[in-house]
């Protein structure tokens, strides 16, 4: 791929790509490689521009000499400068241009395309019919409210969940009695559009709207008419665009997550009105924990209720809010059967709330203590739990992510063992909470022997090896029926325990010894 730009030095672009975040946002970057030294020098990345600075992209045929079928892609910026790239085939040029065009719609403007040669057909139809790209029901209602809930005003939008479904959202009534209707439009396999509840089919969204803007529609005994479309606005920020932290992200990304290759802090934001807090489930070091109900409205207006666990960061520890958000962000970006599901974050005034899946049987340490003399919690039960924890930690290790707070208190029992059906116990590792990298030394010392000696000296030493140390301590807890190691020691004695290079005493677990010796 050659560089046909405007430099005096002969250079070659070895690759052009849209990379991940540099600092806190995505940018176009070019990878330069001098021709005379291409086999010896390392590749350097240089920023060309942000996606928001691109005006348009065009493709044209290169030199026609001989059999040369090169294609030149021109990226035009707002400041009038142009970057030209030469590709060896039309397919490569189209593929690269589609990548730039797609990233632009994903991060900047879902209703605009940069190059006519790669625009998807459904995008053209949406533009022609003034249809919003996928936006949520709440976002559509917000647009109508800002327009004064005018009679007959509607928002046409693609479904955020189903590719061939659309919704007409409009306000019914006035003032305090206003309600919102979400009329479903479906597209059949042969391409026909139908307004749900009617018999007529149309070849395009534009034809459907033209018809029903002249006629009245009746639904649930209410008669209404689609008279005027609420148009999509250029570069409007909806909840379905990828968040750009330099454009309003609430919390900056700390170096700890950058070190572990989490691309950016992100999580679903939940409204306080959508949460009902119930009975207290206890209190952590920095959080108060409640059982709660999360309410969600579907695209058809129905309300879904889900039992959740609500962790409220104590106002006395508001200075740890960034680390609190980072834990939620990490868990939100990970999916594994042995990791607790994090639904999102709710920020209301000084309240910082993490919303997670509800766990019926609570923390592992409490369960082990309650069932210490139970015959069901035997060697096989404990080994099964240890194995599941190992699977979760292996998953994190493969992602190069150090958890930093592996302990029995942070392991949740999702399901009890059911021997009649052959189902073993089922556990999940919860979020790490406030990272040890920001905690004061006195709190770290209290967490001996889960925190490693090197992390006591410097918390920035947190690593994958630290998690393996914590796993060993947690395994000791499981073997000992949930009892905490060094529970009778104060902070000074715990510190001496490490200084004198002591080790935890072997747990009195004869079954394990017999298993090893058998």
Task: Render pLDDT for 400-409 as a digit per residue (tens, 0 to 9).
Answer: 899 999 999 9
**pLDDT value, residue 174:** 60
What does the alpha-carbon distance between residue 268 and residue 265 come to, in Å, rounded to a whole number?
11
Please, what is the average pLDDT of the chain?
79
Look at 337 and 255; give whichever has higher pLDDT.
337
- Note the CATH architecture for domain 252-357: 2-Layer Sandwich (3.30)
What does the alpha-carbon distance between residue 138 and residue 298 come to, in Å, rounded to a whole number?
10
pLDDT band at 254 (very low <50, low <70, confident <90, very high): very low
**pLDDT value, residue 227:** 79
Question: Which residues on neighbouring strands pair with residue 47, listed in sequence order?
Answer: 29
- pLDDT, tens only, 60-115: 887 656 456 788 999 988 777 888 899 988 899 999 999 999 888 888 877 788 88
- Note the CATH architecture for domain 125-229: 2-Layer Sandwich (3.30)
Mean pLDDT over residues 487-504, rounded?
90
- pLDDT, tens only, 119-144: 888 788 878 788 888 877 878 887 88
The DSSP-derived string for 391-454 is HHHHHHHHTT------SGGGEEEEE--BTTTTBPPEEEE----S-GGGS-HHHHHHTTTTS-HH
- Identify whether the C-beta of residue 222 lies closer than 8 Å to the C-beta of residue 197: no
Q: Which CATH superfamily is domain 364-517 in?
A: Transferase(Phosphotransferase) domain 1 (1.10.510.10)
Q: Is the pLDDT of residue 170 over 50?
A: yes
**pLDDT value, residue 175:** 52
Question: Which residues on neighbouring strands pair with residue 54, listed in sequence order?
Answer: 77
143 preceded by a cis bond (ω within 30 of 0) = no
**pLDDT value, residue 510:** 66
What does the alpha-carbon distance between residue 242 and residue 479 come to, in Å, rounded to a whole number?
45
pLDDT band at 302 (very low <50, low <70, confident <90, very high): confident
pTM above 0.75, yes or no: no
**pLDDT value, residue 124:** 83
Number of H helices, E strands in the chain: 13, 21
- For the segment(s) 11-118, the CATH number from 3.30.470.10, 3.40.50.2000, 3.30.1490.100, 2.30.29.30 is 2.30.29.30
- The distance in angstroms from the start CA to the end CA of the chain is 64
Of 225-229, 352-356, 409-413, least confident by mean pLDDT is 225-229
Of 30-34, 261-265, 361-365, 426-430, least confident by mean pLDDT is 30-34
pLDDT band at 269 (very low <50, low <70, confident <90, very high): confident
Q: Judging by DSSP bridges, how do beta strands 193-195 and 411-415 pair with one another?
A: unpaired
Instruction: Tabulate helix, strand, coil % of the chain (nearest 5).
Output: 30, 30, 40
- Identify whether the C-beta of residue 250 lies closer than 8 Å to the C-beta of residue 284: no
- Identify whether the C-beta of residue 240 lies closer than 8 Å to the C-beta of residue 160: yes
In the chain, where the domains are located: 11-118, 125-229, 252-357, 364-517
**pLDDT value, residue 448:** 94
Which pair of structure tokens corresponds to residue 421?
């059906």
What does the alpha-carbon distance between residue 304 and residue 137 come to, in Å, rounded to a whole number?
14
Of 5-14, 125-134, 181-190, 353-362, least confident by mean pLDDT is 5-14
Look at 131 and 421; give whichever has higher pLDDT.
131
Q: Which of 412, 454, 415, 431 is nearest to 345 (CA)?
A: 431
């Amino acid at each position: 791929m050659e560089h046909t730009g405007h430099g005096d030095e002969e250079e070659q672009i070895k690759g052009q790509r849209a990379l991940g975040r540099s600092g806190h946002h995505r940018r176009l970057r070019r990878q330069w490689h001098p021709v005379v030294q291409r086999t010896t020098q390392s590749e350097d990345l240089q920023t060309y521009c942000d996606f928001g600075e691109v005006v348009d992209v065009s493709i044209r045929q290169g030199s026609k000499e001989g059999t040369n079928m090169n294609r030149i892609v021109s990226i035009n910026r707002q400041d009038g400068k142009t970057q030209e790239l030469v590709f060896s085939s039309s397919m490569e040029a189209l593929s690269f241009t589609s990548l730039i065009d797609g990233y632009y719609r994903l991060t900047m403007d879902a209703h605009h395309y940069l190059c006519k040669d790669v625009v998807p057909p459904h995008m053209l139809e949406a533009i022609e019919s003034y249809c919003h790209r996928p936006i949520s029901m709440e976002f559509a209602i917000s647009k109508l409210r800002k327009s004064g809930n005018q009679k007959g005003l509607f928002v046409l939008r693609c479904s955020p969940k189903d590719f061939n479904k659309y919704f007409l959202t409009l306000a019914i009534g006035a003032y305090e009695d206003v309600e919102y209707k979400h009329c479903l439009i479906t597209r059949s396999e042969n391409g026909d559009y139908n307004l749900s509840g009617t018999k007529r089919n149309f070849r395009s969204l534009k034809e459907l709207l033209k018809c029903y803007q002249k006629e009245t529609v009746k639904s649930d005994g209410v008669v209404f008419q689609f008279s005027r479309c609420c148009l999509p606005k250029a570069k409007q920020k909806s909840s379905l665009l990828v968040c750009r932290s330099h454009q309003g992200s609430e919390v900056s990304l700390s170096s700890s997550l950058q070190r572990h290759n989490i691309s950016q802090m992100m999580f679903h934001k939940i409204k306080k009105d959508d949460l009902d807090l119930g009975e207290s489930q206890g209190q952590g070091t920095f959080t108060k924990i409640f059982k709660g109900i999360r309410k969600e409205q579907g695209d058809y207006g129905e309300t879904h209720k889900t039992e959740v666990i609500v962790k409220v960061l104590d106002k006395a520890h508001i200075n740890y809010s960034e680390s609190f958000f980072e834990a939620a962000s990490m868990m939100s970006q990970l999916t594994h059967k042995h990791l607790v599901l994090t639904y999102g974050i709710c920020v209301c005034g000084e309240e910082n709330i993490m919303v997670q899946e509800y766990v019926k049987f609570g923390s592992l340490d409490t369960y082990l203590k309650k069932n210490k003399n139970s015959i069901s919690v035997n060697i096989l039960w404990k080994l099964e739990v240890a194995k599941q924890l190992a699977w979760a930690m292996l998953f994190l290790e493969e992602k190069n992510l150090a958890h930093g707070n592996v302990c029995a208190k942070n392991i949740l029992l999702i399901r009890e063992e059911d021997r009649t059906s052959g189902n073993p116990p089922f556990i999940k590792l919860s979020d790490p909470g406030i990272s040890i990298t920001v905690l004061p030394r006195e709190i770290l010392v209290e967490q001996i022997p889960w925190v490693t000696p090197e992390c006591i000296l410097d918390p920035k030493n947190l690593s994958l090896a630290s998690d393996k140390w914590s796993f060993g301590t947690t395994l000791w807890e499981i073997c000992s029926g949930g009892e905490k190691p060094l529970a009778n020691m104060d902070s000074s004695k715990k510190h001496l325990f490490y200084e004198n290079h002591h080790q935890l005493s072997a747990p009195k677990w004869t079954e394990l010894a017999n298993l090893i010796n058998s």
